[in-house]
Chains A and B, each alone.
Chain A
Amino acid sequence: MSATQVIVDAELEAPPVVASPPRLRRFHPGVILSGLIVAFLIVAAVLPSWVTSRDPLAIDISHSLQPPSLSHLLGTDQSGRDLYARIVYGARLSLLIGIGATALSMTIAIAFGVVAGLSGRLVDGAINRFIEVLFSFPVLLLALLFVTVFGPSATTEIVAVGIGTAPGYARMVRGQVLAVRGSGYVEAANALGHSYLRVVRRHILPNAMRPLVVVVTLGVGQSIVWASGMSFLGLGVAPPSPEWGALLDAGRNYVTGAWWLEVLPGVAIVAFAMSVTSIGRYVRQRLEGGLRDDR
């Protein structure tokens, strides 16, 4: 709605400027590029054969350690496997781990955060303490502990990264719920005599959950970074599978002679993580541009 239409005859008052900041209205090349990268990688994860015709596991010793060229876009590894195909086929597992871990951590975070935020001092205090305890385990160490105890697998990574990243989100959800719970509109709804459940359902949950849309996108990127860190240490998914972190781990031995093996899978990780992050930021700005008071 255009701000210039807001004129009421009786009032001398100037209408507030409600249009989104000018930065958002302009053409946004970064966001579009990010969208393309994410779309490409999602296609790669779902239907890898659409974006490459090569087999990521096909060994061809005669073409080992080839630098990037027209026949092998991103070069080949020590066994002559095509790196581009390996990155494309690695997308599925990497994205799966990222999304799985984020889903788990969001579930934990929302459960704890909402219960803490809505409860009285006692329950809230207990949950808050528990979150604090989880905070004392850095994600990577928790993941290492899980791997040590349960052995390396994709499930272990998902569970470890999911639990490891949960406390940060839980604290955020709790803070949001508390903020909304103390807001003027919740008091106004109470003053109107609406039932507790109605207030929670219609005001508290929707407003407290809104920022999570963005956090989810950030979380997927971060989870992939964490999970590939595990693989990088040789503690992730078993070697033949072309998961991105595993590619990095394998490339480490050839870093002096065949830089592309180390650099390019990393570029895939960074590009994906940064693209989802920038899309998330953009979405947040759009959301807040319309709903936050910028006085």
Chain B
Amino acid sequence: MTVDLSGGGNLLRVDNLRVGFGHRKAPKPVVNGVSFSLTGGKCLAIVGESGSGKSVTARTLVGLTGGRSHVTADRLEFNGRSVLGLGDRQWRGLRGKEIGFILQDALVSLDQLRPVGAEIAEALRLHGWGTRAERREKVIDLLTQVGVPNPELRARQLPHELSGGLRQRALIASAIALDPSLIIADEPTTALDVTVQAQVLDLLDETKRRGKALILISHDLAVVARMADEVAVMRGGEIVEHGDADDVLYRPRHEYTQALLDAIPSTHSKGTKLSHTSRPALTIKPRSAARGPVIKADGLVKRYHGPDGITRTVVEDVSFELNAGETLGVVGESGSGKTTTARIVLALADPEEGQVLLNGEPWTAASPKARRGRRRQITVVYQDPLSSFDPRWSVRSIVADALPRDSYPSAALRGERVRELLGQVGLEEEHLDRRPLQLSGGQRQRVAIARALAPEPSVIVCDEPVSALDVSIQAQVLDLLTDLQSELGLSYLFISHDLGVIHHMSDRVLVMKDGRVVESGTADAVFHQPREEYTRQLLAALPRLDRSESLTTDHGRLL
């Protein structure tokens, strides 16, 4: 299968694509008149928040929208041939062979019960490529090509035995096995750590340089900035802005694109509002670090003893202080021990060595009974608020449950305080009697914040509080947290894997790796003059919108 690139003909042409789901008579529209075209060697990024229709658009191009969907278009051409209304057998001839499709999170996108090599060989076998022995050889070649070390061993292993980055490479290998002329990648790096993300993006970039067309679906404008030639911004099933990547990212014309770009927390956003809301602009109070530390952690160590007799050290000699009114950011990749540290600080896990002082008094070393009385001084906001709410309870009872009984002895007083708290986090009276499932993600996180505020704590531990949210909602929640801090003088222990969020929120930063603190200092010092190699790697791998700053290093293959 060769594609005529010399004529400059379009590999893919989509005109007025519409996709609806549900009943044939009145399908619920999900994609609403989308048009674009693509030639070989180019990358089109389709960017949007959840529910924008970007993933459905991608799936339409491989005919995998499912049984209840209705696809119409004025034109839907691949390689000069209409693929509208193709039968399943014809689609199967295209899938894998001429169009490769890569999904997010390879752990669940690869069959867990089969060796990685079998999955890659399957792509070859389905299109009748070679003999069994030839395929086995080709699998090793492909794994080598995507930068998997020790491919003979890896091919025999199961997905869960590989790290996230290797799995994603294997998944890419299975998608490009037959060298398809179009590759569609749906959020290919979303579940990955930032350093691994950079490597996977490099890999995709390389296929583009080999003349393949690439469609990159992402919620993250910064990720697409380094790869895309063209960017289409989708919202509510429509493309609101489409054009040359530089134009869209640096000279956006549509206000939604502008809002999305502004919502990205980064070096420059510090001290400014991220969201476009009607609330008054933020007044930054100079924070005094003069008051003593509210949290003092000293030499924390935590090990887990597995049932198989293996001991893993999850947190090793972690010490830090959190001062009143200050935000201490803890950043690190998965497995760095940051969440375990948070649980120790919350006294939900006991450290094996070291201790935490809360407001100057022993905290983790105190008896469970003594701790219970002081728990109102430190509260928590989790990444997934939904699972932190009892599903039977209304918003009213969730927040009221957190109010100390001695300060609010009567139901009337509690009711009044709950309303006040909901007002503080920007929720309305009407949300009082909803159950968590009846709220949107952003509303749920606001309820979680109201609950954390209820006991009037001096410290709130925020464990990845915005990681599950769309960028515009993330912006609102971050703004809310900043406002509350300056209004109430709270201290935050703010945990995130997202360097941009950490830099935006934090006064001081701890960088963690493999359970240890590798670097700490003021946010600006750590981000602008990192001392440690690991911090530099993290920062270098971070996709940025500002091209003058990034991509100066061509960090090659790690691993």
Query: Do A and B actually bind?
Result: yes
Residues of A within 8 A of B (CB): 1, 3, 5-6, 8, 10-16, 18, 183-185, 187-195, 202-203, 206-207, 210, 290-293
Chain A residues whose C-beta falls within 8 Å of the C-beta of B24 in the assembled complex: none
Give the top 10 A-B pairs by smallest Cβ distance, nearest first: A193-B375, A184-B387, A184-B388, A188-B388, A291-B391, A185-B390, A193-B372, A18-B438, A14-B51, A13-B440
Write 12 A-B pairs (CB below 8 A) sorted by A numbering: A10-B426, A11-B473, A13-B441, A13-B470, A13-B473, A18-B437, A184-B384, A188-B451, A192-B455, A193-B376, A207-B391, A290-B437
Chain B residues whose C-beta falls within 8 Å of the C-beta of A291 in the assembled complex: 391-392, 435, 437
**B343 to A, closest residue via Cβ:** A187
In chain B, positions 367-384 with a C-beta closer than 8 Å to chain A are 371-376, 379-380, 382, 384
Q: Which of B259, B278, B346, B440 contacts A191 (CB 8 A)?
A: B346
Chain B contact-residue range equals 35 or more
On whether A3 and B375 interact (CB within 8 A), knowing A12-B49, A191-B348, the answer reads no
Chain B residues whose C-beta falls within 8 Å of the C-beta of A16 in the assembled complex: 437-441
* B476→A11 contact, CB < 8 A: yes
A12 to B384, CA, bound (A): 20
Chain A residues whose C-beta falls within 8 Å of the C-beta of B441 in the assembled complex: 13, 16
Chain A residues whose C-beta falls within 8 Å of the C-beta of B51 in the assembled complex: 14
A184 to B428, CA, bound (A): 25
Chain A residues whose C-beta falls within 8 Å of the C-beta of B379 in the assembled complex: 191-192
**B373 to A, closest residue via Cβ:** A193
Among A8, A187, A202, max chain B CB count under 10 A is at A8
In chain B, positions 436-483 with a C-beta closer than 8 Å to chain A are 437-443, 451, 455, 470, 472-473, 476
Q: Does B277 contact A (CB under 8 A)?
A: yes
* A183→B387 contact, CB < 8 A: yes
**B382 to A, closest residue via Cβ:** A184
* A195→B473 contact, CB < 8 A: no
A183 to B387, CA, bound (A): 7
Q: Does B352 contact A (CB under 8 A)?
A: no
**B480 to A, closest residue via Cβ:** A10
A10 to B259, CA, bound (A): 13
Q: Does B129 contact A (CB under 8 A)?
A: no
Q: Does B389 contact A (CB under 8 A)?
A: yes
Q: How far is the CB of A30 from chain B (nearest CB, A)?
A: 22
**A204 to B, closest residue via Cβ:** B390
Q: How far is the CB of B499 from chain A (nearest CB, A)?
A: 24
Among B372, B382, B437, max chain A CB count under 10 A is at B437
Q: Which of A15, A185, A202, A292 contacts B440 (CB 8 A)?
A: A15
A202 to B470, CA, bound (A): 33
Q: How far is the CB of A1 from chain B (nearest CB, A)?
A: 6
Q: Does B401 contact A (CB under 8 A)?
A: yes
* B392→A207 contact, CB < 8 A: yes
Beyond A185-B389, A193-B455, 13 additional pairs, beta carbon < 8 A: A8-B426, A8-B427, A10-B278, A13-B442, A16-B438, A16-B440, A16-B441, A184-B382, A184-B388, A188-B451, A191-B375, A192-B402, A292-B391
**B389 to A, closest residue via Cβ:** A185
* A10→B390 contact, CB < 8 A: no
A191 to B374, CA, bound (A): 10
Q: Does B386 contact A (CB under 8 A)?
A: yes
Q: How far is the CB of A134 from chain B (nearest CB, A)?
A: 25
Chain A residues whose C-beta falls within 8 Å of the C-beta of B472 in the assembled complex: 11-13
**A3 to B, closest residue via Cβ:** B438
Chain A residues whose C-beta falls within 8 Å of the C-beta of B430 in the assembled complex: 5
A96 to B175, CA, bound (A): 62
Chain A residues whose C-beta falls within 8 Å of the C-beta of B371 in the assembled complex: 193
A187 to B382, CA, bound (A): 10
A190 to B277, CA, bound (A): 35
* B440→A189 contact, CB < 8 A: no
**B455 to A, closest residue via Cβ:** A192
* B390→A203 contact, CB < 8 A: yes
Q: Does B434 contact A (CB under 8 A)?
A: yes
A203 to B390, CA, bound (A): 7
Chain A residues whose C-beta falls within 8 Å of the C-beta of B380 in the assembled complex: 188, 191
Q: How far is the CB of A214 from chain B (nearest CB, A)?
A: 16
Chain B residues whose C-beta falls within 8 Å of the C-beta of A189 in the assembled complex: 401
On whether A187 and B476 interact (CB within 8 A), knowing A6-B439, A8-B440, the answer reads no
On whether A10 and B391 interact (CB within 8 A), knowing A190-B348, A293-B437, the answer reads no
* A1→B392 contact, CB < 8 A: no
What per-residue 1/0 map shows which CB atoms of B406-439 lie under 8 Å from chain A? 0000000000000000000011101000110111
